[in-house]
Amino acid sequence: MPAAGEKPRALSDAQIQSFILDGFVRIDGAFPRALANEARAILWRDLGLDPDGPATWTRPVIRLGMYSQPAFVKAANTPVLRAAFDQLIGPGRWSPCGAVGTVPVRFPSREDPGDAGWHIDVSFGHEHPDLMQWRANIVSRGRAVLMLLLFSDVGREDAPTRIRKGSHLDVARVLAPAGEAGLTLAELAAGGFGGSEGRDEVLADGPAGTVYLCHPFLVHSAQPHRGTRPRFLAQPPLLPSEPLRLDGPSPVEAAIRLALV
């Protein structure tokens, strides 16, 4: 129990240190399974497919549009998550998530989904029509944290997101010389995302209601679905309410400084 007047803590000191070094932290039970079930029912409705009819699942991935219904917004703003945001970014330095953006639904398939390349979620320059020309810079303009919200149970065969552990440090080192302008996704990809290919891989699996909070520079990838049940996941950004900075107080900023030592 926190002392009177003290804000609740979602993450231990060890978890925060792990976030700085590894680039992510997993929070089990971050939102109730009931919310996951409610959100998934909405997604199935919009898919127009039979949840119990694999014969209707003819594509490896379907991307559904912006979702701002209460089930999604509540899932991204539970007390435990808001406390974690305060710890990772700082109280008053982030904006509550009002929508979860595009939701990629992955189905069991032998077909190449066509989107399983390694990348970071670049955070500005979105006015350019070519995704590969979108940009990121050393202070992560436009993004404080990447969230992975699991709206279905995700096992090792259910296309869990692949994460290169510690790769946010490699990307920070590449971005630093580019200054405020940063680099495009194409430039980052051409450089192998800071040479992060040899990093250990972690799978973002877990039961529905699990959330992974990731450093904005973390290199990650989709993968084909080899399981039996569709995978439902949202990956919204947590937006900063003020610009991040290299001398800032948060673990997100501390991780960038660590990379540049």
- Read off the pLDDT of residues 25-76 as tens digits, 9 standing for 90 and up: 999 999 999 999 999 999 999 999 999 999 999 999 999 989 999 999 999 9
Q: What is the pLDDT of residue 205?
A: 98
Does the pLDDT value for residue 86 go beyond 80? yes
Q: What is the pLDDT of residue 9?
A: 82
Q: 147: domain CATH number?
A: 2.60.120.620
Does the pLDDT value for residue 192 go beyond 90? yes
| H/E run at residue 103 | strand 103-106
| C-alpha distances out from residue 72 to 49, 148, 225, Å | 20, 12, 23
Identify whether 16 is part of a domain.
no
Q: What is the pLDDT of residue 47?
A: 98
Q: At what angle do helices 13-22 and 79-88 cross, to 10 degrees?
A: 60
**Tally of domains in the chain:** 1
Least confident among 7-11, 12-16, 17-21: 7-11
- Copy the structure tokens of residue 248: 């800032």
Instruction: Give the pLDDT confidence of 195-241 residue by residue, as tens digits.
Output: 999 999 999 999 999 999 999 999 999 999 999 999 999 999 999 99
Contact 132, 189 (CB under 8 A): yes
3-state secondary structure of 5: coil
Domain holding 86, by residue range, is 21-260
Identify whether 6 is part of a domain.
no
Report how far residue 20's alpha carbon sits from residue 64's, in angstroms, rounded to the nearest whole number: 32
Of the candidates 108, 99, 118, the residue with the CA atom closest to the CA atom of residue 161 = 118
* Burial environment of residue 80 by CB neighbours within 10 A (0 to 12, 13 to 18, 19 or more): middle
Identify whether 28 is part of a domain.
yes
Report how far residue 197's alpha carbon sits from residue 199's, in angstroms, rounded to the nearest whole number: 6
| C-alpha distances out from residue 226 to 60, 109, 140, 230, 232, Å | 10, 7, 34, 10, 14
Does the pLDDT value for residue 1 go beyond 60? no
Predicted confidence band of residue 144 (pLDDT cuts 50, 70, 90): very high
Does the pLDDT value for residue 123 go beyond 70? yes
Identify whether 202 is part of a domain.
yes
Identify whether 2 is part of a domain.
no
Predicted confidence band of residue 261 (pLDDT cuts 50, 70, 90): very high
Contact 87, 18 (CB under 8 A): no
Identify whether 15 is part of a domain.
no
Identify whether 120 is part of a domain.
yes
Q: What is the pLDDT of residue 247?
A: 97
- Strand 237-240 vs strand 145-150: parallel, antiparallel, or unpaired? antiparallel
Report how far residue 184's alpha carbon sits from residue 190's, in angstroms, rounded to the nearest whole number: 10
CB environment 130-157: b (16+ within 10 A), e (fewer): eeeebbbbbbbbbbbbbbbbbbbbbbeb
Predicted confidence band of residue 5 (pLDDT cuts 50, 70, 90): low
Identify whether 189 is part of a domain.
yes
More confident residue, 154 or 5: 154
CA-angle at 48, arms to 46 and 51, nearest 5°: 105
Does the pLDDT value for residue 2 go beyond 70? no
What's the mean pLDDT when you consider all of the chain? 96
| C-alpha distances out from residue 51 to 135, 138, 155, 229, Å | 38, 43, 18, 9
